[in-house]
Structure 1
């Protein structure tokens, strides 16, 4: 029996046809309206902008500029996310979109000659690949950084408009392409979460003095960290703060002086400088304001602090978190304890640091790091010690302050800086252990490798360490004592950090 109800059964195809006809009519009317309209300057700008987006060149150039000039890890992540989103959108357009609906390009009779592209596209019209790429890139960037997204979005909208203005697409093609691009960006986010989607690092939250404008804050800035521009930015953002710039060998003394006259201690520098500031802050019971200014800034970035603005927001609101400190006993230079905010290691890594620091002033940091890695991967500096009651030859003993997420052959980021655990990893000795480690890393998870072991521990003991063995903590070097205990000082340090990360 055939249903007589309207909108069902045989009536449905007719309804769909009418809707399609209405959409086609709307598409034609809007296209003709745009063709008849003239915007001052658009004839000069929009065709060129449309050509610049061919093959994604405009967006690749924008991404390169963001990564090089953005000045933060957030800008680099936003650029990378935009490019990956663009790549996914382009793949979807070229493999499915263009073949699914073979729509002819618009007739150019109504489009002024001055607007037309010199080289007309030969592919089908639906959907617009340029619009998909523009929307994917802009959305991907905005999902990672709202500030950069606000700058890129108008350019992306102009590229989409240019495709109708130059007569190569109907408005419906552009809207469909843009929708596909936005979907591609969200699909990428589903696979690789943005920083704001990750668990809040450094829990639990704590309170600290509200210091609007930096009133009551003393910041010690290490000149060797290459942070002169950041120090100037810091003075502008915190006009009431006292900023003391000093040489590396003066950092500890200046931190001690600052602790006697401030409500909160600030530090501008890399992880080694932050390590010293953390020890002083804990000893004096002061909250710490961290301003990343070094080469890597692992502690600040894992905490979610990527710029001066992040810490300034936290200082204004008095928002902070408590974090663990790694601890090794005895400490360097006769101290009862030594602390580390990131990592502690024995074996090949201290040698890598030594070689890198020797060559860095002559050839630069990254070349020196590569030279050092090439030297130590030969496995010439093995550690012979008793680890957890067993005598072993080790290529590397690594202890991380809290658990690191595994990414490739090396530890990645930390999502919780107050988990009470040490991330302990060892590489057994033997012939060419460095090369075997790299081969194992390429073959699969390191935990399955016969030369590597990983454990989550609260304390570890190392005995019978040979005299002269170096140890490294947060990039600093010292000579290891004959026996060592490595454990945690739980939630010992209060650090300013905004509760919501932008």
Structure 2
């Protein structure tokens, strides 16, 4: 077998053009220590756009890992002594290929746009006589391989709408008569609008300084443009807006018609509250993604408020499950809380909060990983009874529907009407469970780990053994309690979304 150390190599000829040589030298210097890719990654992260931000983060992590492997392992193990080259393979080519490959996983168009830059960096090494073609080719193979391996611990998630059955009985709202929408101003930045605690219908003349941006006024304008006869509830700060919407449902509409649908302009917490009301009152739901992150709206396939309003006008909807949890506090009456995404106990509420704080800057998966490390380092075990069986755990996650991937952190769900709960928890009764968990995450073997349990159920009963704890539902923390029963609502809720976004079940 011929080893790389004895392969015949020939240095590439140097360019005879001083200007071309000078340009190549500048390009080569910018690639030293990955400076050029750090700058590209910074620009992508600062762009704020999801795919571009994720591409920048994955690309720079892949490049950093590749550079470490190239310098710490490949070069010492595969030395090649010769006058024009220090060692094999080319770290410049390796890190450049790793960055572009990683970025292309998140955004193929971006990867294609960056490929010429990576080729230029690699070609400069050959043209300047610093590396041979074999050095560069080996570096490219190394970089592409390591970038591809990042999928084992950071899955590539395609944010396509989840599947669901069409809701054939959802009414076409036409001009909006019979629709009540709550515009939850607490889901965004407050503006100068002072018409609080009232119903505005039709949606005109909402007031405010025209020179100042007001997110509530903007929502009013969007609603009025598509559904001019819709009634909008602007809740009073500090009050339960669900009560205000229920009161609106119980009194006649302005035009004397009955309420045919309810809607919400806000984030996941507001959507969950109104989804529970829609389930109880057997009416369809309009979701306007006006919150901070809008995970549920993205899963449903609602990209913006105008498309959701157009779907309501035309009667295009799908059936979506709603999760319910019956909460029994130490003192007081049992109450039922709805959730459309997830509910969690233990350190999970803190992890979710940290992840959401960092997600806009770093992307969902890196933020989740950093938040998980921090929470696990500071957490204390939670002793509970799961369906009567005592268990010590660090985190408990309950998802509305089966999330993917199974052997990693839950990132997406393929269906909105799976009729199951996704239950996952990290055991605390196994020696070195947190360390073993992190090793399994990095190795991509979490699905086979003893410390991580993931399954699906139709019902889950949880009793806390010890002081009451808080439950997080869709980012909202509920009062401390000691008993929780999770289940799926008996009937799904029709949620309006554009027909073009409805994939086949």
TM-score, length of structure 1 as denominator length: 0.57
Distance across 1 between alignment mates of 2:148 and 2:426: 39
Distance across 2 between alignment mates of 1:466 and 1:93: 51
1:412-456 alpha-carbon deviations (Å, 9 max, x no partner): 33434433222346799xxxx7xx68942324579846xx97663
Tell me which residue corresponds to 2:30.
52
Q: In structure 2, do the counterparts of structure 1 residues 439 and 88 end up closer, same or farther at CA, with 3 Å as the change threshold?
A: closer
Q: Which has the higher contact order (CA 8 A, sep 6+)?
A: 2
Contact in 2 for aligned 1:314/1:496 (Cα 8 Å):
yes
Distance across 2 between alignment mates of 1:471 and 1:175: 53
Distance across 2 between alignment mates of 1:406 and 1:297: 20
Contact in 2 for aligned 1:352/1:373 (Cα 8 Å):
yes
| SS of residue matched to 2:98 | helix
Tell me which residue corresponds to 1:86.
63
Q: In structure 2, do the counterparts of structure 1 residues 471 and 154 end up closer, same or farther at CA, with 3 Å as the change threshold?
A: same
| SS of residue matched to 2:93 | helix
Tell me which residue corresponds to 2:97.
135
Tell me which residue corresponds to 1:401.
400
After TM superposition, the structure 1 = structure 2 runs for residues 300-379 of structure 1, keeping only pairs within 5 Å, are 303=299, 322-329=319-326, 337-344=336-343, 377=379
Shift of 1:313: 7.5
Which of 94, 106, 121 is the matching residue for 1:144? 106
Shift of 1:472: 4.5
Which of 431, 434, 439 is the matching residue for 1:441? 434
| SS of residue matched to 1:328 | strand
Q: In structure 2, do the counterparts of structure 1 residues 138 and 455 end up closer, same or farther at CA, with 3 Å as the change threshold?
A: closer
Contact in 1 for aligned 2:458/2:487 (Cα 8 Å):
yes
Distance across 2 between alignment mates of 1:403 and 1:342: 10
Distance across 1 between alignment mates of 2:49 and 2:164: 26
Contact in 1 for aligned 2:164/2:417 (Cα 8 Å):
yes
Shift of 1:133: 1.9
Distance across 2 between alignment mates of 1:375 and 1:186: 29
Contact in 2 for aligned 1:135/1:181 (Cα 8 Å):
yes
Shift of 1:141: 0.7
Structure 1 vs Structure 2 CA RMSD: 6.2
Is 1:275 the counterpart of 2:296? The answer is no
Contact in 2 for aligned 1:311/1:496 (Cα 8 Å):
no
1:179-204 alpha-carbon deviations (Å, 9 max, x no partner): 654454345447754213x9x67323
Distance across 2 between alignment mates of 1:280 and 1:398: 24
In structure 1, list runs of 5 or more residues that go unmatched: 1-19, 107-121, 357-365
Q: In structure 2, do the counterparts of structure 1 residues 178 and 316 end up closer, same or farther at CA, with 3 Å as the change threshold?
A: farther
Shift of 1:51: 1.3
| Aligned residue pairs, count | 420
Distance across 2 between alignment mates of 1:343 and 1:421: 12
| SS of residue matched to 1:400 | strand
After TM superposition, the structure 1 = structure 2 runs for residues 411-430 of structure 1, keeping only pairs within 5 Å, are 412-416=410-414, 417-424=416-423
| SS of residue matched to 2:322 | strand
After TM superposition, the structure 1 = structure 2 runs for residues 121-200 of structure 1, keeping only pairs within 5 Å, are 122-123=85-86, 128-146=90-108, 148-149=110-111, 152-153=114-115, 155-160=117-122, 162-163=124-125, 168-169=130-131, 177-178=139-140, 181-182=143-144, 184-189=146-151, 193-196=155-158
1:297-347 alpha-carbon deviations (Å, 9 max, x no partner): 55456x387xx858877888998754321123489998985311233457x
Tell me which residue corresponds to 1:36.
17
After TM superposition, the structure 1 = structure 2 runs for residues 111-122 of structure 1, keeping only pairs within 5 Å, are 122=85
Contact in 2 for aligned 1:465/1:483 (Cα 8 Å):
no
Distance across 1 between alignment mates of 2:28 and 2:389: 68
Q: In structure 2, do the counterparts of structure 1 residues 105 and 373 end up closer, same or farther at CA, with 3 Å as the change threshold?
A: closer
